[in-house]
A and B are shown apart, each in its own frame.
Chain A
Amino acid sequence: MTATTAAVLVLVLLLFFGLLAIRLHVGLSLMSAAFVGVLLLRGTGAATSTVASMPFSTSASYSLTIIPLFILMGVFAVRAGLAQAGFDLASAALKRLPGGPALASLAGSGMFAAVTGSSVATVATMARVSTDAIVKAGYGIKLAAGVVCAGGTLGVLIPPSIVLVLYGVVTEESIGQLLLAGVGPGLLTIAVYAATIVALVSRQRRRQARRHGDGSTPPVDGGPRTSPQPGSQSRREENRAIGGAGSGSGTAVLSPSSEGQGTAAAAPATRLDLVGFLYLVVIFAVSIGTIYLGVATPTEAASFGALAAMVILLLRTRPPAWMRAVGESLSEAVGLTAMTFLLMTGAGVFTYFLALTGASTELVGWVLGADLPPYLALVLCLLLLLPLGMFLDGISMILIAAPLLHPILVGYGFDGIWLGVLIVKVAEMALVTPPVGMNAFVYSGAVREAGLGRVFRGIVPFILADVVVVALLIAFPDITTWLPAVSSTQ
Chain B
Amino acid sequence: MSVSPTMPTGTASVDHSEVALPRPVALVARAMSVAAGVLLIALIMLTVADVVSRNLRDHSIVGAVDMSTMLLVAAAFLGLASAELDGKHVTVDLFEARFAPRARWALSLLRAVILLALGVLLTWGLSEVLLSALERGETTNDVLRLPTWPAKAVLVVSFLAYFVVAVWKELRAHSELTADLADEQSGDHR
B34 near A331 with CB under 8 A, answer yes
Given that A31-B118, A331-B37 are known contacts, is A65 also in contact with B47, CB under 8 Å in the complex? yes
Q: Give every chain A residue within 8 A of B6 (Cβ-Cβ).
A: 20-24, 26, 391
Q: Give every chain B residue within 8 A of A442 (Cβ-Cβ).
A: 12, 90, 92
Complex Cα distance, B125 from A118, in Å, reads 31
A68 near B77 with CB under 8 A, answer no
Q: Which residue of A lies closest to B70 (CB)?
A: A60
The 8 Å CB contact of B44, one of A53, A303, A327, is: A303
| A93, CB-defined interface residue at 8 Å | no
Q: Which residue of A lies closest to B51 (CB)?
A: A300
B75 near A337 with CB under 8 A, answer yes
Binds B, one of A120-128, A227-235, A244-252: A120-128
Q: Give every chain B residue within 8 A of A441 (Cβ-Cβ).
A: 8-12, 92, 94
| A28, CB-defined interface residue at 8 Å | yes
Contact flags (1/0) for B106-138 with A, using CB distance below 8 Å? Answer: 010011001100100110111011000000000
B8 near A436 with CB under 8 A, answer yes
The 8 Å CB contact of B76, one of A59, A69, A452, is: A59
Q: Give every chain A residue within 8 A of B129 (Cβ-Cβ).
A: 49, 52-53, 56
Chain B interface size band reads: 35 or more
Which residues of A (1-47) have their CB < 8 Å from a CB of B?
A: 19-26, 28, 31-32, 35
| B17, CB-defined interface residue at 8 Å | no
| A351, CB-defined interface residue at 8 Å | no
Secondary structure type dominating chain A contacts:
helix
Which residues of B (20-53) have their CB < 8 Å from a CB of A?
A: 33-34, 36-37, 40-41, 43-45, 47-48, 50-51
Which residues of B (151-169) have their CB < 8 Å from a CB of A?
A: 151-152, 155, 158-159, 162
Closest chain-A Cβ to B105's Cβ sits at a distance in Å of: 13
Find the residue from A307, A333, A442, A444 having the highest chain B CB count within 10 A: A442
| A189, CB-defined interface residue at 8 Å | no
Complex Cα distance, B110 from A319, in Å, reads 49
Q: Give every chain B residue within 8 A of A55 (Cβ-Cβ).
A: 76-77, 122, 126, 155, 159
Q: Give every chain B residue within 8 A of A391 (Cβ-Cβ).
A: 5-7
Q: Give every chain B residue within 8 A of A390 (Cβ-Cβ).
A: 7-8
| A341, CB-defined interface residue at 8 Å | yes
Complex Cα distance, B124 from A267, in Å, reads 63
The 8 Å CB contact of A445, one of B11, B50, B82, B152, is: B11
A333 near B83 with CB under 8 A, answer no
| B69, CB-defined interface residue at 8 Å | yes
B128 near A52 with CB under 8 A, answer yes
Q: Give every chain A residue within 8 A of B75 (Cβ-Cβ).
A: 68, 334, 337
Complex Cα distance, B49 from A304, in Å, reads 10
| A314, CB-defined interface residue at 8 Å | no
Complex Cα distance, B76 from A146, in Å, reads 35
Closest chain-A Cβ to B28's Cβ sits at a distance in Å of: 14
The 8 Å CB contact of B1, one of A49, A116, A307, A330, is: A116
Contact flags (1/0) for A439-463 with B, using CB distance below 8 Å? Answer: 0011011100000100000000000
Contact flags (1/0) for A379-393 with B, using CB distance below 8 Å? Answer: 000000000001111
A337 near B3 with CB under 8 A, answer no
Find the residue from A307, A335, A391 having the highest chain B CB count within 10 A: A335
| A306, CB-defined interface residue at 8 Å | yes
Given that A24-B6, A300-B51, A446-B12 are known contacts, is A72 also in contact with B69, CB under 8 Å in the complex? no
Q: Which residue of B lies closest to A302 (CB)?
A: B47
Closest chain-B Cβ to A3's Cβ sits at a distance in Å of: 28
B3 near A121 with CB under 8 A, answer yes
Closest chain-B Cβ to A396's Cβ sits at a distance in Å of: 7
Find the residue from B92, B121, B151 having the highest chain A CB count within 10 A: B92
* Pairs across A and B, CB under 8 Å, 21 listed: A20-B7, A23-B96, A23-B111, A24-B6, A28-B118, A48-B125, A53-B125, A60-B73, A61-B69, A68-B72, A68-B76, A69-B40, A330-B41, A334-B36, A334-B75, A335-B82, A339-B83, A390-B7, A391-B6, A445-B11, A452-B10
Q: Apart from A51-B125, A391-B6, list 14 A-B contacts with CB within 8 A.
A: A23-B96, A24-B111, A25-B4, A28-B115, A55-B155, A65-B43, A121-B90, A310-B44, A333-B37, A335-B1, A438-B5, A441-B92, A441-B94, A446-B14
